[in-house]
Structure 1
């Protein structure tokens, strides 16, 4: 349940609303076919509502479902509040400012990240996006997108900075577990000062926020299960229709995998990396040592 609707994102409200509606339907002993027949809806409309796939939700649809399910006045008011958020606000990545620089695959990821309860991220070449400083990410984008205008680079930097709000959201802050290769600490991106500031920022965030855990895989530990490249495993709140999934990206594309075999493979790889890498305190000591070396 969202305890502060006013501070919740539309994406999170859609997910929670869908979960609540599905639970109400089950409690009423109704299947989807019975519901859509009563309301003269398509089955896909009800499915989109219950999975949070709609860009916005009509309050009148919520009212109609609450009547059929026999929801209490308190429950109905709460669900109408969720729907109102989806109607009156937009997820930040949907704004005209960001749309031109966000690829479709990454746009899908942003919606998933905004609703996830936990994110496991292994990075081999650079600092995880949710822990990057503005100066560090600007250097990366200027190098990776040399044909882009300064305004487009500014938009990409803003996208990265806006993403980080999930770590501090008042409504169920995202639990981030990040594992990074030692190469990330050694590669000088943007010069020594940028690196010192960036690595110090990782230490500060991991120390300040109890929902952030960082580990480092040292070179001396040899081969490991993350050597095929970076990846993300996203997990969603209890009761949500979304199951865990994997997000992957490269220079050409970005995509989400919901295949059970892929999810298990990457979960196992992350578990192996967690077991292999030094614990959070020792890892933060490695990062502090790298700050001095830069």
Structure 2
């Protein structure tokens, strides 16, 4: 439960609201299909509310659900407060400047990332987004999105750089644990200067107390991250939200809240963290790669 709604971000309010609405429905013994039939809603509308995907939540919709679920007056007031924040405040990625550069799946992730207390990420092909330099980001987007105009690439770069503020925000910076495949250190993105600056940046950010970086060496052979990159997001205790997994590929990006999926990826990350060398040895590998570039 959020105790200070007025200072909470819209993203956190949407997630908390969705979680509590879902709990109320389940406590009332109702299936989603029963609720949408009574309200004449589409199934997707209730799903978006319960997963926190709507940018804005209408207080009237919340009250209609509370009526069906038999929620008490205090609960109704609290949930209306969450909805009010989504209508009066705006997350930075919802502004007209950024919206054209952000797909639906990634938009959902940005809300989760901004709200998370901890991120555990494994990356096999490039530097994790929160650790990238502007020059490295620009090269990645120019290659991945060939044909985009300079203004569009600039927007994508700005989105990535703005995301990184979660690591240094004054209040509760996110705790990042990043495990990076050794191949990332040697893949020459943008040439020697770009790579030297990028790897030096990783080493610098890794000195922050809330950041831990480990490198997965070639020599360790097969490991539990070989099916691809992923991010496990955990949330503040006050939010009472379970961890979520974020996945993406060339065609799509999505989050999974299914307990079995989350458990599988948490176990995979635990295995990777135990297998990979610690931060100091990993830092030595990064410094060696800088010299090679």
- Do the structures match in fold with TM over 0.5? yes
Partner of 2:173: 173
Is the contact between residue 7 and residue 170 of structure 1 (CA under 8 Å) also seen in structure 2?
no
CA displacement, residues 213-266 of structure 1 (integer Å, 9 cap, x when unaligned): 110011111111111111111122225353222211111111222222222221
Structure 2 residue 103 is matched with structure 1 residue 113: no
TM-score normalised according to structure 1 size: 0.78
What displacement does 1:175 show?
Answer: 1.4
Structure 2 residue 210 is matched with structure 1 residue 211: yes
What displacement does 1:170 show?
Answer: 3.0
Structure 2 residue 227 is matched with structure 1 residue 234: no
Equivalent position SS for 1:207: coil
What displacement does 1:86 show?
Answer: 2.9
Is the contact between residue 176 and residue 212 of structure 1 (CA under 8 Å) also seen in structure 2?
yes
What displacement does 1:115 show?
Answer: 1.6
Which has the larger displacement, 229-238 or 255-264? 255-264
What displacement does 1:107 show?
Answer: 1.4
Structure 2 residue 276 is matched with structure 1 residue 269: no
Partner of 1:252: 251
CA displacement, residues 194-221 of structure 1 (integer Å, 9 cap, x when unaligned): 111111111111102x111110011111
- Could you tell me how far apart the structure 1 residues matched to 2:81 and 2:146 are? 44
Structure 2 residue 194 is matched with structure 1 residue 194: yes
Is the contact between residue 53 and residue 108 of structure 2 (CA under 8 Å) also seen in structure 1?
no
What displacement does 1:140 show?
Answer: 0.5
- Could you tell me how far apart the structure 1 residues matched to 2:178 and 2:273 are? 9
Structure 2 residue 142 is matched with structure 1 residue 159: no
- The 5 Å alignment of 1:1-294 reads 8-15=8-15, 52=52, 54-56=54-56, 85-208=85-208, 210-294=209-293
Judged with a 3 Å threshold, the aligned counterparts in structure 2 of structure 1 residues 215 and 171 are, in CA distance, closer, same or farther, namely same
TM-score normalised according to structure 2 size: 0.79
Structure 1 alignment gaps of length 5 or more: 34-40
- Could you tell me how far apart the structure 1 residues matched to 2:50 and 2:151 are? 38
Judged with a 3 Å threshold, the aligned counterparts in structure 2 of structure 1 residues 286 and 239 are, in CA distance, closer, same or farther, namely same
- Could you tell me how far apart the structure 1 residues matched to 2:268 and 2:53 are? 30
Give the length in aligned residue pairs: 282
Is the contact between residue 247 and residue 255 of structure 1 (CA under 8 Å) also seen in structure 2?
yes
Partner of 2:33: none
What displacement does 1:4 show?
Answer: 8.0
Is the contact between residue 32 and residue 46 of structure 1 (CA under 8 Å) also seen in structure 2?
no
Judged with a 3 Å threshold, the aligned counterparts in structure 2 of structure 1 residues 288 and 233 are, in CA distance, closer, same or farther, namely same
Is the contact between residue 124 and residue 229 of structure 1 (CA under 8 Å) also seen in structure 2?
yes
- Could you tell me how far apart the structure 2 residues matched to 1:163 and 1:223 are? 32
Structure 2 alignment gaps of length 5 or more: 31-38
